[in-house]
Amino acid sequence: MNVTLNIGKETSVRKPVIVSMTIICAATWVITAIQPENFQAWALEQIASILGIGSLWFISRHAQLSLIALSGLTFLFVAHAIGTHHTYSMTPYDGATEYLFGFSLNETFGWQRNHYDRFVHLIFGVTASIPLYQIFFSQLKCSNSIAWFLSLNIVVSLSAAYELLEWFAALVFSPETGDPYLGSQGDIWDAQADIAIAGLGALLVCMTWRTAKYIRDHREFNIHFTTMAPEPPKFGNQ
């Protein structure tokens, strides 16, 4: 039984929606560009922003992405822009959660470092895997399994490429800005952890989709089986 959930459908998004999301990204970019914590680090981070926005415009001209895919990518850009404003190692997410919800994430989980970079890499894995799956499944007509397999691999590859880009940009353009730009915070395995968390985000989306598809297929099979079952024999007066 072939069941396609909303995440994989070719859902045409109207141009005003794309323009609105572009305006949100542009407004966020302008706001976060005002007096950033470290201007050199902020400027280097814009390389990824420009490449990301350019890639999104190119893809949107050749493929139909769903509203959920574009919304996720917009959220990713906003989260990234906030991190570039404060620098990833100094983004005050812990103070924000304590102010809004009355508890400290760092104290609750015993964290010793700023984990905002991990948070954004997780968002990247989640939000990037959805449009990639839609392209492979809807546009290139790959099977569900192949589409998710390719999406997961590309997410990990893009995450690794981003880490290499960060290293190269810091080394060539501004070596003295390396630590605040890279945000490793003394963790020698920072790049590997970021790549793994991005892959984990993509894997979680894949597993969630597969589980939802299995439940939906099983439910529809039961409905079909009940409908097609023969009526029990009737006794007595007809």
pTM: 0.78
Residue 103's Cβ-count burial label (10 Å; 0-12, 13-18, 19+) is exposed
Asked if residue 105 lies in contact with residue 97, where contact means CB atoms within 8 angstroms, the answer is: yes
DSSP per-residue letters across 77-118: HHHHHHHHHH-GGG--HHHHHHHHHSS-HHHHHT--S--HHH
- Taking each helix axis from N to C end, the angle separating 116-134 and 190-228, rounded to the nearest 10 degrees, works out to 40
CA distances from 17 to 6, 71, 80, 103, 216 (A): 18, 10, 21, 36, 30
Identity of the residue numbered 194: D
Asked if residue 46 lies in contact with residue 26, where contact means CB atoms within 8 angstroms, the answer is: no
Buried b (16+ CB within 10 A) or exposed e, 21-52: bbeebeebbeebeeebebeebbbbbeebbeeb
Write out the chain's pLDDT in tens, 238 residues: 343 444 544 445 567 777 888 889 889 988 988 988 888 778 777 777 788 778 877 777 777 788 888 889 889 999 999 988 888 888 888 888 888 888 888 888 888 788 888 899 999 999 999 999 999 988 888 988 899 999 999 999 999 988 887 777 767 766 665 555 555 666 677 788 899 999 999 999 999 988 888 788 777 655 544 444 444 444 455 4
Centroid of chain to Cα 143:
22
